Amino acid sequence: MLVQGFNEIFYWVSWGLLLFSLFAFVDSAIRREDAYRAADKQTKPFWLILLGIATAANLFLSVMSFIPIIGLIATIVYMVDVRPALRQVSGGRGRRGGSSSDGPYGPFNGR
């Protein structure tokens, strides 16, 4: 009974890791190439390959293997360091303040 509960926990953890790495992969794919250079991070193909390997490792290998753990570390680095820098450079949803009439060079309302 204990082993069955342990296996169920690993099942849900492996699904969580897969979804986490898949989200990071899709997020890195939709970001612009020049945003990576502007944020002074590695290139877009680098992150696509790294996060693609992490997603594949989480899909096909056991959580107990060391390769999904390395993929998890790469995914965490992307989510904590690279993604916020890309959002800041791109002027994405992470921007605080401003009004709905603000454009890239200032307000559109004639001020």
pTM assigned to the model: 0.73
Boundaries of domain holding 61: 2-90
Q: Residue 50: exposed, middle, or buried by beta-carbon count in 10 A (0-12, 13-18, 19+)?
A: buried
Q: Is residue 60 part of a domain?
A: yes
Number of domains in the chain: 1
- Encode the chain (111 residues) as per-residue pLDDT tens digits: 778 877 888 888 888 989 999 999 999 999 999 999 899 899 999 999 999 999 998 888 766 678 888 888 999 999 999 999 999 988 765 445 555 556 666 666 655
Compute the Cα dihedral for 77, 82, 84, 85 and give only its sign: positive
Q: Is residue 103 part of a domain?
A: no
Q: Is residue 21 part of a domain?
A: yes
